A = this chain, B = another copy of it.
Amino acid sequence: MARAHIDMELRWGDQDAYGHVNNVAFARYLEEARVRVFELGSARERTGMERHFREGATGLKTLVANQQIEYLNVLEYGPSPITVELWIGKLGGSSLEIHYEVVDGAATGRSVVARAITTAVVVDGRTLRPVRLSAEGRAAVEPWMDEPLRFRRG
């Protein structure tokens, strides 16, 4: 029962013409959080998941099959990094659900500005066909499973 924490800088250019962080930028933050956890292994915690999922490590690749983002609050650009909290909400045969809460680092208290779920499918790097997660893969992921998110809508 644990979450990985990824601290991430905002960029002024993440803002749109309304002067707030644009909704598309959040998809970029989620991508960066996944890369840091599953490729670089550079979250605050040493999750070890990158040892199984890093490209080249196993010849596997993970594709985004579905992604849902719920926007809860406006996020303003500033010097404080946001924190993406990331965990595994569900584990299928050859897919996993990555759940996230995006926390505004400038807020007093823990202010969640967005929540999201990515359904990622593990595929063979060459054929792009789904591949069942190995026992080692499941073992790497299981310590990072936590309660699934529930969206307000849909």
Where the two chains meet, the residues of A that have a C-beta atom closer than 8 Å to any C-beta of B are 8-9, 11-13, 15-19, 22-24, 27-28, 31-32, 35-36, 39-40, 42, 63-71, 74, 77-79, 117, 119, 128, 151-154
From A22, which residue of chain B is reached at the shortest CB distance? B13
Q: Contacts A153-B66, A154-B117 hold; do A12 and B27 have CB atoms under 8 A apart?
A: no
Q: List residues of chain B with CB within 8 A of the CB of A36.
A: 79
CB <8 Å contact, B16 and A154:
no
Give the number of copies in the complex: 4
Q: Is the CB of B12 within 8 A of A119?
A: no
Shortest C-beta distance, A80 to chain B (Å), equals 10
Would you give the shortest CB distance from A86 to chain B, in whole angstroms?
Answer: 15
Interface of A is mostly: mixed
CB distance from A13 to the nearest CB of B (A): 5
Q: How far is the CA of A28 from the CA of B23 in the complex (A)?
A: 9
In the complex, are the beta carbons of B23 and A24 less than 8 A apart?
no
CB-CB nearest in chain B for A7: B9
A104 to B74, CA, bound (A): 33
A71 touching B63 by the CB < 8 A rule?
yes
B-side contacts of A71, CB under 8 Å: 63-67
